A and B are shown apart, each in its own frame.
Chain A
Amino acid sequence: MNEIFVFSLHGLAYAGLLFLVSAGLTLVFGMMNVLNFAHAAMYMLGAYFSYTQVTTTGLFWPSVIFCPLLLFILGALVERFLLRRVHIHGHLHELLLTFGLAYIITELVKWIWGNYPLAVNITGFLSKSIHLFGIIYPVYRLFVIFCAIMVGVAMALILYKTRMGIVLRASVNDGEMVDALGINVPLVMMGVFAFGSALSGFAGVIAGPLLSTYPGMAHEILVDAFVVIVVGGFGSLGGAVAASLLIGELQSFGVLLFPKLSLALVYLLMAGVLIVKPSGLFGAKQ
């Protein structure tokens, strides 16, 4: 019984991380129709920036703020000076651009930090374990779950309770019309892309102490994040929540119950969803 509890918490922690990565990915896709291959590279940069910051200052908390901020700026620059320029040439060019960017960032990371895993060591309360309903559980994993819930709630509040959210949801429907109503949609797009990058960087900061920081980490999370947005439905935040939970738990219990099949389970789930509902669990009908 305890084992089930532990594994479901493990699943939740991974789901939290997946949600932080895929929320930005699905938002950018929903708004801009760009499948951003560089999204996970931003995640990796977040982890590496955090590594450098933690090893030089010994403090983890500032990186939770500063690394996403750096990636927000980087994301804004990428949108303004690269993506926007290729936008008129169509989606294939945008896709290739983000694909190339992902490669460049990965190679830069290898060049600067080396092609081997690095450990981000945290100290203090976050590194402890606590008693929780009869089990002993690491605080850090609970912190990951907490962060994901906070970000999810904040995004839902912004999307459904603010004027900004109305603009964002309307732009998913019809960006040109929103522009004709007097809203600077290109600026909104830049903000969305920058926010998506910052969120991905935040996920990277959070992932650092949990998983190892190495140049393959971007590719690893990108595959799962793509599965999340396919299963959840492209552009749907609610879908990202549901699919992250599904895949996080599936990964966690897959390792426990069917160790040999665990890698394939995620793809089996995706195939199953695509057969039954090709637009994803929460996807709009095309």
Chain B
Amino acid sequence: MIEVSNIHSHYGKSHVLHGVSFDLKEGELVCLLGRNGVGKSTTLKSIMGMVRPSHGGIRFEGQELVGMRPHQIARLGVGYVPEERRIFRSLTVHENLLIGMKQVKNGGVPREPWTVDRVYSVFPRLKERCGNKGIHLSGGEQQMLTVARTLMGNPKLILVDEPTEGLAPLIVKDVLEMLSAVRKAGVTILMVEQNFKAAVKVADRFYIMSKGLMVFQGDMPALMAAEEVRRNYLEV
């Protein structure tokens, strides 16, 4: 579905990604692991067009994404769920969902498109709070809203950046179950996560990054077997 090959990205003068390559197949939930500052978020932003890679290519369903603007990439069917949630503070929950609607090119809407009603039936908590302003939601509610907002655009692939950051353990479980449910509904997911133990339960495959490079890829048994990799690149 998406193939990232040898991308280099910069933030101002600092060279963050040094040739990152990986791929996702349709229907997968892949987790990108690694310590702080190794370039995980930058990888997502590079796919989304928010950071423009200086070298390399990103092909999504056969189309080259490098050089496109974020809204064009979004319209091809890529959804971005940012770190820190980035809920629109002064908009109500309902309005936050409405803004997520967009026209999807490249194959049109899925069989079962996401609508406000469908979102409310999957996330009853959001329905209860539909008239509240974004700023008044709890962390867990904000995380649900930011995922739901992106789903409203009927993406084929969503890029989820640290969905469990700053949430209580009980809520972390909810959020990961929610992402599993979204994947079962047919959306491919690339998730960046610090919380290795939580991510292990839901992901099909794992990539580990270090200093702007991929240093490991494999499924859960492979990750469990690679003790040295985990010690060097994940455990504190």
Contact = CB atoms under 8 A, between A and B. Distances in A.
Tell me what chain A mostly uses at the interface: helix, strand, loop, or mixed.
helix
Interface stretch (B27-35, B67-75, B121-129, B198-206): B67-75
Interface in A134-176: 163, 166-167, 169-170, 172-174, 176
A181 B91 contact: no
B167 interface: no
Interface string B58-83: 00000000000111001100001010
Contacts of B98: 163, 166
A182 B150 CA distance: 10
B199 to A, nearest CB: 23
Given A176-B50, A178-B99, A183 B90 contact: no
A27 B32 CA distance: 40
A115 interface: no
A173 B89 contact: yes
Tell me what chain B mostly uses at the interface: helix, strand, loop, or mixed.
loop
Nearest to A186: B69
Interface string B18-53: 000000000000000000000000000000101000
A121 interface: no
B70 A166 contact: no
Interface string B92-119: 0001101111110000000000000000
Interface residues of B, number: 25
Contacts of B100: 181
B70 A173 contact: no
Given A167-B99, A174-B86, A182 B91 contact: no
A184 interface: yes
Nearest to B69: A179
A181 B88 CA distance: 12
Given A170-B99, A173-B90, A181 B69 contact: no
B91 A179 contact: no
B90 A180 contact: no
Nearest to B134: A173
B153 interface: yes
B149 interface: yes
Nearest to A184: B71
A6 interface: no
Given A180-B48, A181-B99, A183-B102, A166 B91 contact: yes
A182 B71 contact: yes
Given A178-B99, A181-B153, A172 B90 contact: yes
B90 A179 contact: no
B80 A180 contact: yes
Contacts of B89: 173
Nearest to A178: B99
Contacts of A177: 82, 86, 88
Contacts of A180: 48, 50, 70-71, 74, 80, 82
B71 A166 contact: no
A54 interface: no
Contacts of A181: 71, 74, 80, 99-100, 102, 149-150, 153
B91 A169 contact: yes
Would you list the 8 A-B pairs with minimal beta carbon distance, nearest first?
Answer: A182-B102, A182-B74, A170-B88, A180-B80, A179-B70, A173-B88, A180-B70, A177-B86
Interface of B: 48, 50, 69-71, 74-75, 80, 82, 86, 88-91, 95-96, 98-103, 149-150, 153
9 contacts: A170-B88, A170-B91, A173-B88, A173-B89, A174-B86, A177-B82, A177-B88, A181-B149, A182-B74
